[in-house]
Structure 1
Amino acid sequence: MNILEVKNLNRRFGAVVAAADINLSIAEEEIVALIGSNGAGKTTFVNMVTGYLKPSGGSILFRGRNITSIAPREVCRAGLCRSFQVAQLFPALTALENMMIAFAMLQVDESSYFKPLENSQARKRSLDVLESFGIANHADAKVGTLAQGVRKLLDISMAIVSRPALLLLDEPTSGVAIDEKFTLMETVMEGVRESKAATVFVEHDMEIVSHYASRTVAFYEGTIIADGPTNVVLTAPRVRKFIVGELQEAAITATHHD
């Protein structure tokens, strides 16, 4: 059964076409990678699905409900949550305080200026989540002082606490050291497996894609040029020509610049 159905989705910025007739379905508990070079339309797609960017045309159905025009908060409360390429956190607050805010947002209708954010129950369950993601030792550290990998895990864990039916991750391993990327991704996927959320992740690292995605969707110039089992998509001629080759060249260039 499909949890997400995107039909004829389009997005234009003046004369620039960022997405052209995107048709894509995601099944329950499916793990899907979105690949493509910079500017291919991957993040534009994620932003449209999560309500941060309104499409120029087309429709987005989540669990059969049309969510094309609703606000990001309502999209999240419907059960579709996301993380960001650059972690969206409160840098002046601690990791624990950020997590307690995530829990408080789940009870927004019950929130009150007279009701404290922190209490023993909120603290315990926030610590439990940090522990499950292996970052409890950073609970009392200000987020602005944390390493990129820790911030990524915190951002993703805050998205998962609402138990979404569909989770979208925008480049979960970007900015993370090479020797830490699999450890981080394994921690993330353990949380995903526990929550049983369908997961779509944008990724430039083909090792991560090959290891964790059963299905891969390839974007090029705002369109989908391949969609299918990961091993098939990554060996498709157009994907190798327009995406995999470009990403490998970019990785070599970045290595030479380090």
Structure 2
Amino acid sequence: MTTILETRFLERTFGAVYAARDINITINEGEILGVIGSNGAGKTTFVNMVTGYLEPSSGEILYRGKNIVGKPTRDITQMGICRSFQIPQLFPELAVIDNIMTALILSRQQGISLFKSAVSCELKQQARDLLARFKIDAYADQEISTLPQGVRKLIDIAMATVADPDLLFLDEPTSGVSADEKMDFMQTLIDALKSSRTAVLFIEHDMEIIETFSPRCVAFYEGTILADGSTNDVLKEPKVREFVIGSEFHRETSMQQGGQASC
């Protein structure tokens, strides 16, 4: 496997408080990685440091072997590391396809003032192709403000992929999506991203989503990495069960597996 990102002893302090300490993570090309942990465990701090929104207090962030600590967010994005946010970053007054075309234009480093002159049949087709990849092309001409949260999130993530990033960070992609739609939402998302070699790291609180869609899992606790490995092994770790997911979840999972085995 080709390593695209490696962090070494990454730390971030706020005064005497450690928001992240000794974060050592390696991410490989095309890998899907789930991140779990309670609020304040250091998950978003880690993502913010890698994407340039927060400078580490110490440590290294190596992207394809080069240290990117201190580089501006825009430069990191252009290098191939992108992200989406828990709250979609969209233009609510514009139609869906206009949001996608705006992202395409900006990814080519063209000014937003050139939007009208930059629009072409080719650009529109690229936007429609991207929407079809995420199965939201039926919404192309609708205004963002009229759409449900799940569709908005897919649009936001689609916009984050316009430059075909090597690595994509997703901050709680299923947050705000109804419980009965989460699994279909994630399946659509994973299918769309698997069509490229983009590695995906997603932060998630729903353990069923983690079990189903992330072969590898990293558990954060109080700014440190509690466990890193196959999802099945991580969720069985006693410390992860105690401090992150709770023993009740483990009992329910065991009962479900036992019930399936006895059928």
Q: Give matches, 1:122-161, under 5 Å.
A: 122-161=123-162
Alignment-derived partner of residue 103 in structure 2: 102
Deviation at 1:156, TM superposition (A): 0.7
Contact kept? 2:105, 2:115, Cα under 8 Å:
no
After superposition, the C-alpha distances for 1:215-258 in whole angstroms (9 at most, x for unaligned) are 1000000000101110000010000000002996xxxxxxxxxx
Deviation at 1:161, TM superposition (A): 1.9
SS of match in other structure, 1:108: coil
Alignment-derived partner of residue 254 in structure 2: none
Alignment-derived partner of residue 28 in structure 1: 29
Does structure 1 residue 18 correspond to structure 2 residue 36? Answer: no
Contact kept? 1:101, 1:117, Cα under 8 Å:
no
4+ aligned runs moved over 3 Å, structure 1: 109-115
Deviation at 1:212, TM superposition (A): 0.9
Q: How far, CA to CA, are the matches of 2:118 and 2:172 in structure 1?
A: 30
After superposition, the C-alpha distances for 1:166-198 in whole angstroms (9 at most, x for unaligned) are 111111111100111111111111111101111
After superposition, the C-alpha distances for 1:106-132 in whole angstroms (9 at most, x for unaligned) are 211588748624222111111111122
Contact kept? 1:133, 1:157, Cα under 8 Å:
yes
Contact kept? 1:127, 1:136, Cα under 8 Å:
yes
Per the alignment, do residues 119 and 38 of structure 1 end up closer, same or farther by CA in structure 2, a change over 3 Å counting? same
Contact kept? 2:102, 2:115, Cα under 8 Å:
no
Q: How far, CA to CA, are the matches of 1:234 and 1:106 in structure 2?
A: 38
> Which runs of 5 or more structure 2 residues have no equivalent in the other structure?
250-263
> Which runs of 5 or more structure 1 residues have no equivalent in the other structure?
249-258
Alignment-derived partner of residue 62 in structure 1: 63
Deviation at 1:93, TM superposition (A): 1.4
Contact kept? 1:160, 1:191, Cα under 8 Å:
no
Contact kept? 2:36, 2:218, Cα under 8 Å:
yes
Alignment-derived partner of residue 229 in structure 2: 228
TM-score (norm 2): 0.90
Contact kept? 1:217, 1:227, Cα under 8 Å:
yes
- Percent identity at matched positions? 52
The number of residues matched between the two structures is 248
TM-score (norm 1): 0.91
